[in-house]
Structure formats: C-alpha cells, structure tokens
C-alpha cells in the first residue's frame, strides 16, 4: 500500500482492499463467430427497426392530434433514426460479403517499371510512330 492510499484511509476512515487482477483469457478464434455476430446483429437491427416504426406511428398520431411543431419534429427525427438503421442493415450485409469474398490475385495489378526489349532502331521507330499518332489527335 502506498502513502496515498494510507492517507485516504485515515482521511475517510475506511479500509482500502487490494484487488487482484484476473488473468487475461484469450478467446478462441472460431470461424463461425462472425456468422453468429452477423445473425445476432441482423436480428437486433430488425427488432430496432420494427420498434422504431411503431414509435414513428405513435409520434405521428401525437403530432396530428396536437398540431404542435415540436411533436412533428420528434416524429421526423424518429423517421430519420429508422432510416439510419435500415442503412446500417444494408452496410452490415455488404461487410459480410466483403469478409467472405476471396482476395483478388496475389500479384500487383499495375506494372510501373516496364522495359523495352529491342534494338535502338526499333525504339526510334516506335517513338516516331507514337509522336505521329499524338500529332494526329
């Protein structure tokens, strides 16, 4: 126990208990975890969207009955929240597809360092042809 803790015990007339840190347990990585998480998240989003739609209906009824601008503002905000949740549902599907998609090719897709193989005469001829094509355009 350090001096600070001793002083706190005296000032507040309490006893500080020393807590033992629990060891960090590493969870096993399972391939099905992302699928379970996806299904769980998807279910939660569906539930939130349905509840949000019910809330929007209730807010619209209150707004129409009262005619108060604040009630309409609340209803519109609820609509925006439901809309955002539906966007999150689509984003979730896209992210899962990205996880499942195989990585395209192992090599580079563009080659920056190209090399001409041929004689200097061939190179000069090619450059002249390229300059003629550029001047015609």
**Is-contact 78 52, C-beta < 8 A?**
yes
**C-alpha to C-alpha distance for 55 and 42, rounded to whole angstroms:** 20
Q: What does the pLDDT read at residue 121?
A: 87
Q: What does the pLDDT read at residue 84?
A: 93
Q: What is the pLDDT along the chain (137 residues), one digit of tens a residue?
A: 677 777 777 777 777 666 666 566 565 566 668 888 888 999 999 999 999 999 999 999 999 999 999 999 999 999 999 999 999 999 998 988 888 776 665 666 676 676 777 888 888 888 898 888 888 87
Using CB atoms within 10 Å of the CB of residue 40, give its burial: 0 to 12 exposed, 13 to 18 middle, 19+ buried.
exposed
Using CB atoms within 10 Å of the CB of residue 75, give its burial: 0 to 12 exposed, 13 to 18 middle, 19+ buried.
buried
**Is-contact 86 56, C-beta < 8 A?**
no
Whole-model pTM: value is 0.50
Q: Is the dihedral angle over the CA atoms 116, 118, 124, 129 positive or is it negative? A: negative
Q: What does the pLDDT read at residue 115?
A: 72
In the structure encoding, which two tokens stand for residue 74, read together? 């609340």
Q: What does the pLDDT read at residue 30?
A: 63
Domains and CATH numbers, the chain: 31-100 (1.10.287.1060)
């Amino acid at each position: 126990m350090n001096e600070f803790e001793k002083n706190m015990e005296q000032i507040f007339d309490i006893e500080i208990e020393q807590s033992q840190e629990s060891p960090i347990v590493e969870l096993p990585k399972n391939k099905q975890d992302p699928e379970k998480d996806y299904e769980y998240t998807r279910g939660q989003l569906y539930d939130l969207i349905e509840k949000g739609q019910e809330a929007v209906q209730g807010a619209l009824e209150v707004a129409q009955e009262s005619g108060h601008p604040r009630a309409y503002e609340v209803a519109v905000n609820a609509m925006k929240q439901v809309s955002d949740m539906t966007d999150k549902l689509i984003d979730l599907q896209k992210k899962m597809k990205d996880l499942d998609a195989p990585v395209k090719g192992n090599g580079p897709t563009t080659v920056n360092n190209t090399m001409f193989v041929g004689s200097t005469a061939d190179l000069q001829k090619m450059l002249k042809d390229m300059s003629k094509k550029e001047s015609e355009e």
